[in-house]
Amino acid sequence: MTPATAPAVDLDALLEDVRTLVECESPSADLAAVARSADVVASVGERWLGVAPERIVLEGRTHLRWRLGDGPSRVLLLGHHDTVWPIGTLARRPFAVEDGVLRGPGCFDMLAGLAMAFQAAAGTEGVTVLVTGDEELGSPSSRALVEEEGARAEAVLVLEASADGGALKTGRKGVSLYDVDVSGRAAHAGLEPERGTNAAVELAHVVLALTGLGDATAGTTVTPTRASAGTTTNTVPAAATIAVDVRARTAAEQERVDAAVRALAPVLPEAGLTVRGGPNRPPLEETASAELFERAAAVAARLGLPAPTSASVGGASDGNFTAGVGTPTLDGLGAVGGGAHAEDEHVLVAELPGRTALLRALVADLLAEPLAPLVAPTNPAGRAGGGRP
């Protein structure tokens, strides 16, 4: 329950806004659905913020931006309105609130966070609200927009859902995505296999080399995922490929693995390797969020709210991009609940008022007293790779 000292939050309006957003399905890959969702998000946001957003359409995907006030933008509230759920999910999993639990596709990741952002930003100046439409795909069209707005701001607050137990996300691993292509030489598997160069065997060497690049003590994972080789059961494979997912807590680890992947060399004579892809998102290192987290804790104490907890997580968000350009970034300020991308996706209603009050008061605190800027990384992650984080 929200203490009397916290700014008033209209819970009924918040729940109705979440219903409105959830009931407009917005799978990322469906451009028409994302455009319809943008219309709905724009309407909800305009009602709270008093102005219509700029509509920014990039590669057919609709993003929305509100710049509040006439002066420079100092605080960026960042979120996305696309979801992972295909059209038709709502029919079998309709919006519902029962026994204090809100359910519906996309409610936790992250439509409730958008509704919170609009209430928190209402009546402010010096705030930008940016809502993108392709985050679940890895932000292929919106990355430059997110980085541009992040670089303009003194602080970025990301309305992605919380970590377990409501923890704020003070660290996110960077993501690198690769495809390693193996070339060999075909031959008849029964008559003369020795005349071939088996790309599947070379692929096995590649997989073992890749798995050796992880570092559990540093939190670095290198995971071979989708693989294929060969064409028929009686032919020595002439080609093979493996997809690779890399997660790293620090830019130094991301760069170490990138160099090692690019240095892979074939083991079999006459085999060849080609590496495609690279870093997709830089890490959100805990140094980028430390001061913001301290400010959030101080604000919570003033409001009489429970002290926030923190967590570092493996999944990435657009907050990785804003931290990567050197702007203090705090993530996971959205709803408390669970089940992101899963059938049991849900939001705890009782947590919404206090969470929204904290966000609103933190925005006011940052507008009253800015943060010191971070030092931008010297080798931010490149744009290669693409794909979902």
pLDDT band for position 384 (cuts 50, 70, 90): very low
Residue pLDDT, tens place only, 244-279: 999 999 999 999 999 999 999 999 999 999 999 999
Structure confidence at residue 336 (pLDDT): 98
Mean pLDDT of 63-78: 96
Distance (Å, rounded) from C-alpha 118 to C-alpha 53? 12
Residue pLDDT, tens place only, 21-65: 999 999 999 999 999 999 999 999 999 999 999 999 999 999 999
Give the pTM. Answer: 0.90
Average pLDDT, the chain: 94
Mean pLDDT of 98-111: 98
Residue pLDDT, tens place only, 183-233: 999 999 999 999 999 999 999 999 999 999 999 999 999 999 999 999 999
Distance (Å, rounded) from C-alpha 262 to C-alpha 211? 14
Rounded percentage of the chain residues whose pLDDT exceeds 70: 94
Distance (Å, rounded) from C-alpha 64 to C-alpha 70? 18
Structure confidence at residue 376 (pLDDT): 52
Domains of the chain: 11-173+283-368 (3.40.630.10), 174-281 (3.30.70.360)
Q: Which of 54-63, 290-299, 376-385 has the lowest mean pLDDT?
A: 376-385
Mean pLDDT of 91-103: 98
Which is catalytic among the residues 17, 25, 82, 134? 82
Adjacent-strand bridge partners of 358: none
Residues contacting 360, CB < 8 A, separation 6+? 7, 9, 119, 120
Q: Is 245 a catalytic site residue?
A: no
Which is catalytic among the residues 17, 109, 134, 135? 135
As a residue count, the chain comes to 389
DSSP state letters, 25-58: --BTT-HHHHHHHHHHHHHHHHHHHSSPPEEEEE
Mean pLDDT of 321-334: 97
| 292 pLDDT higher than 50 | yes
Distance (Å, rounded) from C-alpha 50 to C-alpha 165? 34
Q: Is 135 a catalytic site residue?
A: yes
